[in-house]
Structure 1
C-alpha cells in the first residue's frame, strides 16, 4: 500500500515494496535532474526494514548548491511532483506527489544539518533493533491518538528523535 490522504495519520506494516518504489522513483529523478544531484537517499520510516510507517516514500536529494533547487522544479513537476517551496523547513526545497500523497522530496545542499540528521537517524534505527522497536511502539500509539492531526503526531515524536540525534553527536 502506498499513499496517505490529506489530514489523516495511519501506519502500515513495513514492506519490501517500499524499497522497490524508492529505487524506481530514484531512477526517474536521476533521469530528469541527474546533473544537479550529488546523491539521492531513501529516508524516513519507509527506509527502515521492519518499521511500520505512514505509506509515503520520503526521498532526500542532495545537490551541490541550494540555488540549483529552482532549476529542478520544472523537471520534477513533469514527474508529477508539486513544488511547495522553501518555507516549511529552512534550507530545504520541498515537493510532494499524489493525492493521496505517495512521495515527498526533501532537497538539500550537501552537508546540510537537517539532511545529515535524517540520514543519521535512519541509520541508527537500521542498526539498533531495540530502538527501532521502541520508536515503532511510540509511532503506533501516537498514530492512534492523533489520527487526524499530522502536525501533533510529528511534534509528539520530537523528544524521541532528539534523544537519538543527541546520542549521535556524542
Structure 2
C-alpha cells in the first residue's frame, strides 16, 4: 500500500527530471518531440509527493506502445491510457514511486493544460501556497488512501485550470 506523503520542495527535483529526460530521449529517440517537467515537483516552493512527473510530447501516440520493453529496462511499468484517453502512462518505483511519465501526441490539449497549470502556479505564489496547504492537509487526512487524496485535489485543480486559462488569454491578447 502506498503511503501518501508530501515533503517540502527539494532543489534536486529539477536535476532528477533532467537526468531522467535524457534517458527517455535515448529510449524514444526521434519519436519524442519534447519533454517537460510537470506536476508539483515542478512548482517552486510547494510541498509535493516526491515523485517526478514528466510529460513527453510524441509524434505518434500509437508508436509509444512499441517501447514498453525498453521502458521496463529503465524500471518503468506501462499502464496504457490509465484513465485518460490518448495518453500513455508509465510508473517507476513500485509502491515507492520515483517517476510518473505521461505521454501525449503533439497537439493533444492535455499538454497545454499541464504546462499552463505549472506556469500559472509558478507565477502566482499565493495560489501555489494554497495548493501546498491543501496537499498537506489531504496527506494528513488520508495517509493511506491515495484515491481520496487525489479526489480531494480535484476541485482545486479544476479551479486553477480555469484561472490559468484566463491568465494566458489576458497575456496573449
TM-score by length of 2: 0.91
1:71 correspondence with 2:66 = yes
Which of residues 25, 31, 37 in structure 2 aligns to 1:30?
Answer: 25
The CA RMSD over aligned residues, in Å, is 1.2
Q: Give the Cα–Cα distance (whole angstroms) in 2 for the partners of residues 49 and 60 of structure 1.
A: 18
The answer to whether the 8 A contact 2:116-2:165 is kept is no
* CA displacement at 1:126 relative to structure 2: 0.8
The answer to whether the 8 A contact 1:86-1:92 is kept is yes
Q: Give the Cα–Cα distance (whole angstroms) in 1 for the partners of residues 131 and 118 of structure 2.
A: 11
Residues 2-21 of structure 1 aligned to structure 2 (within 5 Å): 6-21=1-16
5+ residue gaps, structure 1, are 1-5
Q: Give the Cα–Cα distance (whole angstroms) in 2 for the partners of residues 34 and 17 of structure 1.
A: 25
* CA displacement at 1:7 relative to structure 2: 2.4
The answer to whether the 8 A contact 1:88-1:94 is kept is no
Bigger mean CA deviation after superposition, 17-26 or 6-15: 6-15
* CA displacement at 1:59 relative to structure 2: 0.6
5+ residue gaps, structure 2, are 167-173
Which of residues 110, 114, 118 in structure 1 aligns to 2:114?
Answer: 118
Which of residues 75, 81, 102 in structure 2 aligns to 1:80?
Answer: 75
The answer to whether the 8 A contact 1:8-1:150 is kept is yes
Give the number of the structure whose residues are more often helix, by fraction.
2
Aligned to 1:60: 55
Secondary structure of residue in 2 paired with 1:41: strand
